[in-house]
């Protein structure tokens, strides 16, 4: 292990490695986000092994452009590592497939197609002008927040 590596030096390691390994917890921050490092690995032609915890890793599994394992499952992770170590030719083929797929599908033009269509002919949202229902009065909402100390702390910091 190299320890901490300066950000500008990290891409050099991609070209020396056989597999990029991403291990994440199954938490909302990860589920709702994506992994730029995995996209960087695709661009560099590096085979990917990641815990399957977000939309990107679902795509990796579905398109067979990398490998995934169940989060918190050390046996699944170790089995995948042993498999990849014993199948270097397949690792290289998967890396090439990942790079090709990534360049075609994870680029600015492709990922912003719907936004570009809307920008070419912008419209208001379908609910514009419709009455919006508020489920609680301000006082009811504050009372609900005060029942939970954590939320109360967040509320106090937000409104003050």
Q: Say if residue 156 is in the same domain as residue 99.
A: no
Q: Say if residue 44 is in the same domain as residue 87.
A: yes
Give the pLDDT confidence score for residue 80 in this predicted structure.
98
Share of the chain above pLDDT 90, in %: 67
Is residue 127 a part of any domain in this protein?
no
Crossing angle of helices 88-105 and 55-63, in 10° steps, is 120
pTM of the predicted protein model: 0.74
Query: E-assigned strands of the chain?
Result: 19-22, 47-51, 67-69
Is residue 23 a part of any domain in this protein?
yes
Q: Say if residue 90 is in the same domain as residue 159.
A: no
**Domain boundary residue among 71, 88, 106?**
106
Structural domain count of the chain: 2
Q: Say if residue 78 is in the same domain as residue 146.
A: no
**What average pLDDT is seen over the chain?**
88
Q: Say if residue 89 is in the same domain as residue 11.
A: yes
Q: Say if residue 146 is in the same domain as residue 91.
A: no
Q: Say if residue 50 is in the same domain as residue 94.
A: yes
Q: Say if residue 78 is in the same domain as residue 22.
A: yes
| C-alpha–C-alpha distance, residues 85 and 70, integer Å | 19
**Residues in the chain, how many?**
160
pLDDT in tens, 20-52: 999 998 888 888 888 999 999 999 999 999 999
Give the pLDDT confidence score for residue 159 in this predicted structure.
44
CATH code for the domain of 22: 3.40.50.2000
Q: Say if residue 95 is in the same domain as residue 136.
A: no
Q: Say if residue 71 is in the same domain as residue 140.
A: no
Structural domain harbouring 148: 132-160
Angle at 43 between CA 95 and CA 46, to 5 degrees: 30
pLDDT at 72 over 90: yes
Is residue 113 a part of any domain in this protein?
no
């Amino acid at each position: 292990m190299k320890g901490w590596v300066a950000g500008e030096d990290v891409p050099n390691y991609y070209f020396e490695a056989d597999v990029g390994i991403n291990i994440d917890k199954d938490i909302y921050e990860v589920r709702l986000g994506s992994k730029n490092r995995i996209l960087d690995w695709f661009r560099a032609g590096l085979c990917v092994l990641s815990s399957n915890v977000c939309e990107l890793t679902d795509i990796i599994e579905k398109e067979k452009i990398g490998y995934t394992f169940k989060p918190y499952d050390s046996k699944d992770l170790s089995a995948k590592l042993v498999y990849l170590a014993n199948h270097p030719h397949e690792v290289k083929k998967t890396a090439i497939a990942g790079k090709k797929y990534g360049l075609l599908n994870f680029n600015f033009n492709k990922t912003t197609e719907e936004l570009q269509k809307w920008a070419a002919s912008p419209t208001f949202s379908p609910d514009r002008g419709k009455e919006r229902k508020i489920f609680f009065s301000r006082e009811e909402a504050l009372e609900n927040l005060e029942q939970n100390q954590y939320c109360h702390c967040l509320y106090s910091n937000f409104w003050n």
